[in-house]
Structure 1
Amino acid sequence: MLKYLWLSLTVFIIDQISKTVMVNWLSLYETVPVMPFFNLTLAHNTGAAFSFLAGAGGWQRWFFVVLAVLVSLVLAVWMRRLSSADKVEAISLALIIGGAIGNVMDRLVYGYVVDFLDVYVGTYHWPAFNIADSAICIGAILLIMDSFRKPAVKR
Structure 2
Amino acid sequence: MTPDGNQPSEPLKRPYIWGRFSGFVFVIAAVCLILDQVTKVWIVHSADVATNGPIKLLPILDLILIWNRGISYGLFQQDSDLGRWLLALFTVAATIALWVWSTRVPSKLPALALALIIGGAIGNGIDRVVYGAVVDFVYFHVGSFSWYVFNLADVWIVAGVAGLLYDSFTNGPNSAAN
Same fold per TM (> 0.5)? yes
Spell out structure 1 runs of 4+ moving beyond 6 A: none
Stretches of structure 1 lacking an aligned partner (at least 5 in a row): none
CA RMSD of aligned residues (A): 1.8
Stretches of structure 2 lacking an aligned partner (at least 5 in a row): 1-20
Q: By how many angstroms is 1:95 displaced?
A: 0.2
1:3-152 correspondence to structure 2 within 5 Å: 3=23, 4-24=25-45, 25-27=48-50, 30-54=53-77, 56-83=79-106, 86-152=107-173
Distance 1:29 1:118, change over 3 A: farther
d(CA) in 1 for partners of 2:112, 2:174 = 21
Distance 1:57 1:144, change over 3 A: same
**Deviation larger for 37-46 or 90-99:** 37-46
Equivalent pair of 2:65/2:137 in contact (CA under 8 Å) = yes
More helix by share: 1
Q: Secondary structure at the match of 2:67?
A: strand
Aligned pair count reads 152
Q: By how many angstroms is 1:123 displaced?
A: 2.5
Q: By how many angstroms is 1:59 displaced?
A: 2.8
d(CA) in 1 for partners of 2:74, 2:52 = 15
Q: Which structure has the bigger radius of gyration?
A: 2
